[in-house]
Each structure stands twice: as structure tokens, then as C-alpha cells.
Amino acid sequence: MTAHANPRDLPPEEDDVFDAPEVAAEAEAEPCDTGAEAPETPESVKRGVDVIKKHWRHAPNGPGVYRMIAESGEVLYVGKAKNVRKRVASYTRLAGHVNRIARMISATTTMVFISVETETDALLLEANLIKQLKPRFNVLMRDDKSFPYILIAMDHEAPQILKHRGARARKGDYFGPFASVWAVNRALNALERAFLLRSCSQSFFDNRTRPCLLYQIKRCSGPCTGEISMEDYAELVREARDFLSGKSRNVREQLAREMTEASERLEFERAARLRDRISALSAVQGAQGINPRSVEEADVFAIAKDAGRFCVEAFFFRAYQNWGNRSYFPRADASLSESEVLDAFLAQFYQEHPSAPCVFLSHPIEDSALLEEVLTARLGRRVEVLAPQRGEKRELVDHALQNARQALGRKLAEDASQQRLLGALGQAFGLVSAPRRIEVYDNSHIGGAQAIGAMIVAGPAGFMKAHYRTFNIRSAEITPGDDFGMMREVLTRRFARLAKDGETEQDREAFPAKPDLILIDGGRGQFDVARDVLRELGVEGVAIASIAKGADRNAGRETFFVEGREPFRLPPHDPALYFVQRLRDEAHRFAIGTHRARRKKEFTKNPLDEIAGVGPSRKRALLLAFGSAKAVSRAALSDLEKVPGVNKTTARLVYEHFQRGE
């Protein structure tokens, strides 16, 4: 499933070596030598081939997974094969490899093999290892976030409708996936108006004595206070499930009949409510965009390639409706074809997400039969993976392909614009070349309380949120509110950790771990602190700049401090200035948001949480018995021992904890 050096990676004659019956036995017995050594073969490739030949002798003669490992211990590549011994033999040629394979062979110093029972097991293990190890020569799916679903929870007499992510532990009906939270929220808003199902939590529902605001604005039928009988509410739940299951036409026709009957009986208020529900259903269906007529459930994937970059566009169709799309930009070598990248992408995608009974592709893939077998076993029903050529199925694929090309075009334009901004910033701060990794630091606290340091990261692809970090200021020597001391601690911890971990050998295209430029939110004092920290740690090759706010804190009047230059300002309309402001504002947002979350946690902290051995159940029992943590702190030992679920040992722990506090 990954982009291994399979026959598509190799010259045409390699197919003959492995597929011709008369030489198959030979190929399994000895590595593949292609005759005289090519004079232009680099020494590093020769060394890599020698290493692979040594390990080839121990390769399993059956299905399995292999790993190619660099001298530093970094896993370069993970591949699977029906016959590992034959596949590894394909790497023992001295010439004829594409650049990607040649570089991979050159860097290989050892190999590891894992035998499995079937090729299906090899596919699953390969996808797991790729996700865990992120080898630089594999196709990597960059975004593996779970998709949101709509859940109608059936664990209560008045079922709840809500948005859901993650494991399906709660009893109920799950409808999805939706491509984005925005799509789910839009659908939920319309469904609440159409079916009047409650969205409140269980505790909120149980403690209502009068209808809430959602009932007043006709977004809930009010089952909590008996505004609707449970029998009628169950009918609303049934209609909602039918609609989400694809029976939308039946639901709308039923509501239209009821509206007509109510109007004929002069029940105009009820007719108006039914009219509003029909209108809400129309809003749900009208917002779905292209809706298939003959395809009930399908996942559609289309891949586009341009300028050595790839975009995979995924559409999800459920209940004859389009439930949204998402764009993915996998990391893959430019020498790979669209089919190879799509093949590797799907193996990783379906590790995390359930599939529809039909998977339509823009390009045929080599392992479609194997993928069908895996998905069928998981779904419990037949799954079909194909690249349709005509009819409505092809129309769906073409629509996805058009979106993939447009998304890739936008991505390339954004990256080009980002690269120009990086170049302008490097020029403004006197760097030799455009920075590849920028780190921006900021602190946030109130009078020194809940102090945190924040680091955001930007690069050629924009803000790299996976690399953001926060630092809880924990030094007892720092005076509360000492921004210089906090900045010193943050930078010391960051670059000491970087020096300890070391920089792994990365592909030239990989995102570096060490910054080219760090930006500090502050003036000359913060700049001097950052410069001193980097000198003390022996960090070289990192430029430093600090940003002092302008007079009256006006944007556009910032003063910059850079080593070897007098403080300066950038022209008011300089694109580099706007870029720096965006970086600083993002650092502010991240630092303040993290600080507020920590402060909120401190506000809601319960003294019982500090007692070892008192978990959620015992804490709940104590609070139910005494009413508050303060009352628990004042309770006598004999009273604590009487609480149901609290034994004498725990009661003494609680009692002694509060006695020590006093």
C-alpha cells in the first residue's frame, strides 16, 4: 500500500525478473545483479546495496513488513510485500533506481523484518507503523483527525441529538461522517428546528422545572417538563432517524400531509409549526450541494498532482446526500504517480475511519482487491473499491477531481505567497536566505499568577500548529511578573531540550527542528536575554529579533531589535511588517488562550482533587454527604467514616489532609 520499490518504481526489465516463471526461483534464491557496475553509481549507493544484500539473506520468504533504517536509528521507509525476500532483492541493483529509491538505499545501514500470516495482515501492520514512525520516504497522510458524527443517543427515555467525535461508546445511532465541524453544526441547527429534539445534557434535563430558551425559540419540544408526551417525542425521534437514514422524501411527504390536514381543521398554529419544520428540512437538503440519485452511501476520493505536490479530495455521501468534503495534502515524493500516492493514502486513511460500502476513486490502484478484503472484514458487509468510468458514479468522481485541482491550485498559490513573505522577512532582518522555521515567543500571566510561556511556529506551509508548545513557568527564583526571568526560563528549556535530543538527519524537504529565526515579543531587554541564553548554550545559526510595541501600542509603529544594527522600523505598508504582525498576534492568541485555560482550571479546582486515593466516586460520595468541599474539610473523622463508599483508611486520609492544611 505504501510507495515501495514495487514494479512501478523499477525499470521494465525488473518486472520480468520477478514475474517470469522460469527465473522466479532464482530471484528468490539470490539478490538481483544486473551485470557490470555502472560507472556513475555513487559510493553511498554501493554501500547501501551491500548492506541490503547482507540483510536479504535473512529476509522471510513470505508475506511481511520490512523497515529500512539509517545510522542514526531513524526509520527511513516501511514497506510490505507478499514475498519479502523477493521485494528486498529489488533493492540490490546498483543502477536503474529513481532518485528517491537511490537516496533511500544510500542512507540504509540496517533492516528489520516482521513476518505475518497473510498479505492483509501485512497491509494493516504497514499502515500502523507508518502512522507511528512517520518515515521520510513513505507517503504520509498529514491530517489524521477524526471526523464528526451526529449521534441520536438512545440511553434515555428522551433521546438526545448531539455532535460526536471519537470512540462510539455511547448507545445510540451514529450518522456520518461529516467532513467538518461546520457541516455538522449547520445540519444540527436545521435538524433541531425540524424535529425539535433536545440537545441538552443529562444533568440539565433532570433539573429543569420550566422549559428553557430553546423551547421558546422552537428548537426543542420540551420533554424535560412534559410539554410533549414521551410517545409523541418518540415519534419525532423516529422521523429524525428516518430522515438521516435516507428516507427524507417519506418524512417530508408525511409532514406535508399533516400540515394540509391541520389547515383543513383550521388548526393554523399547528400547520404553521409543520410548515416551519418542512422549511428546515429543505434547508438541510438544499445546503448539501451535489446529491446523488442512485448512490446511497459512498466515499469518493480524487487525486490531483501539480508542481510535484499532491492533493486528495475526499467526499462523503450518506443517505443519498452529500455530507461534505475535505482536502488532504499528503507528503510524497514528486516522482510518484497519482495511483501510487492514492494507494498509500487510502491504507492510512482507513486505519482511522470507517468506510462506506462503495469507495470510488479517480485513479485505479494496485492493491484494490486487498483493500476491499480489509474493509469488508471491518464493515461486516461487502465493500467495493473501483475507479468508475461512466454514469453517475463517474460524475461524482469528476466533481471530486475538479475540487482537488482547485484546492491544490489554492494551496500552491498560498505557499508561493508564504514563501515570498518569508523571503521579505529574511531580507528585512538581514538573513542570508529566507527562514524555513520561525519560532515566536510570548508570555502571559496576571500579576505573576498562572504564568506560562508560549511558542508558535511558522514555515513555508504557514502556521505549523503541531509544533506549538507551552511552558509552565516553574522556577521559584523568578519574581512574580518578571518578564525577563520568564523569557530566560522558556528559551533555556527550549534550546537545552533541542541540544539534548539532537537534530535527526532529515530529508532536505522535511521541516527542520531547529529555527532559523526567533522572534521575541518585547524590547531591548527581552532581546538581550534571548541573545545571552543562546550564547550560554552554544547555539549557533539562529537569528534573533525582538518586537517592541509602538507608541500608544499602535500597530505599524513597532521598533525592531536585531544583532549588529541600530533599532529600526519597517515602512508602514511593507508586506514583511504585516507578516510580523500576524506572527505576533498569533503568539498573543496562543499565549493568552493557554493562560486563560489554566486560570479557569485553577478557579474550578476542588481541594479534594489534591488527596491521593480519592477518585471521582469517593469525591462524589463526600460531596453528596456534606454538600461542599469546605464542609468536608470541617467534618469530624467519625462523620467521614460514615459516608457510604468511604472506608476508614480513606476517611483518615481526608481528615489528616485538611488538618495539615489548617
Indicate whether this model's pTM tops 0.75: no
**Whole-number pLDDT of residue 605:** 63
Answer yes or no: is pLDDT of 554 > 70. Answer: no
Would you say 569 and 559 are in contact if contact means Cβ atoms under 8 Å apart? yes
pLDDT digits 0-9 by tens, 408-430? 888 888 888 888 889 999 988 88
How much is the pLDDT for 46? Answer: 85
- Residues 177 and 165: their CA atoms lie apart, in Å, by 10
pLDDT for residue 280: 60
Q: What is the pLDDT, as a whole number, of residue 302?
A: 94
Please report the sign of the dihedral spanned by the C-alpha atoms of residue 541, residue 545, residue 546, residue 547. negative
Per domain, the residue ranges of the chain are 12-133, 149-286, 298-410, 438-602, 607-661
Determine the Cα–Cα distance for residues 477 and 662; give it in Å rounded to an integer: 27
pLDDT above 70 covers what percent of the chain?
84
For residue range 323-334, list pLDDT tens digits in order. Answer: 778 888 988 888
What are the angstrom distances between the C-alpha of 367 and each of 346, 349, 351, 374, 652?
Answer: 10, 14, 15, 11, 63
C-alpha cell at 631: 464542609
Tell me phi and psi for residue 589, to 5 degrees: -60, -45
8 Å CB contact between 451 and 443: yes
pLDDT in tens, 347-371: 888 887 888 889 999 999 988 988 9
Buried-state track 471-489, b at ≥16 Cβ within 10 A, e below 16: bebeeeebeeebbebbbbb
Looking at every residue in the chain, the average pLDDT score rounds to: 80
pLDDT at residue 448 is higher than 70: no
Percent of the chain with pLDDT over 90: 14
CA–CA gap between residue 400 and residue 408 (Å, rounded): 12
Residue 40 — very low, low, confident or very high, per pLDDT cuts 50/70/90?
A: low
Q: Class assignment of domain 12-133? A: alpha beta
Tell me the pLDDT band of 12, cut-offs 50, 70 and 90: very low
- Residue 572: all three cell numbers together: 508602514
CA angle (517, 523, 528) in 5-degree steps: 65
At the second CATH level, the architecture of 438-602 is: 2-Layer Sandwich (3.30)
- In this prediction, residue 553 carries a pLDDT of 56
Among 25-29, 133-137, 279-283, 625-629, the range of highest mean pLDDT:
133-137
Residue 43 has a pLDDT of 81
- What pLDDT is recorded for position 38? 46
For the segment 484-508, the average pLDDT, to the nearest whole number, is: 76
Per-residue pLDDT band for 17 (boundaries 50, 70, 90) equals: very low
Contact 489, 453 (CB under 8 A): yes
Q: What is the mean pLDDT of residues 554-560?
A: 74
Instruction: Give the least confident one: 35-44, 130-139, 195-204.
Output: 35-44
b/e 242-262 (16+ beta carbons within 10 angstroms → b): ebbeebbeebbeebeebbeeb
- What number does CATH give the domain 298-410? 3.30.420.340
Give the tens place of pLDDT for each residue, 565-596.
888 888 888 888 888 888 988 998 998 888 88
Quickly tell me which residue has 471526523 as its cell.
147
Q: What is the pLDDT of residue 303?
A: 94
How much is the pLDDT for 29? 44
pLDDT band at 92 (very low <50, low <70, confident <90, very high): confident
pLDDT per residue over 247-290, tens digit each?
656 666 677 777 787 777 777 776 777 676 666 666 555 444 45
Q: pLDDT band for position 604 (50/70/90)?
A: low
Q: What grid cell was written down for 520?
A: 521575541
The SS3 assignment for 571 reads coil
Name the more confident of 616 and 332: 332
pLDDT for residue 555 is more than 70: no
Residue 506's pLDDT band, with cuts at 50, 70 and 90, is: very low
Answer for the pair 139, 347: CB distance below 8 angstroms, yes or no. no
Average pLDDT, stretch 390-402?
90
- For the residues 15-44, what does the mean pLDDT come to? 47
Residue 437: pLDDT over 90? yes
CATH code for residues 607-661 = 1.10.150.20
**Cβ-based neighbours of 344, under 8 Å, separated by 6 or more:** 1, 2, 3, 138, 139, 330, 332
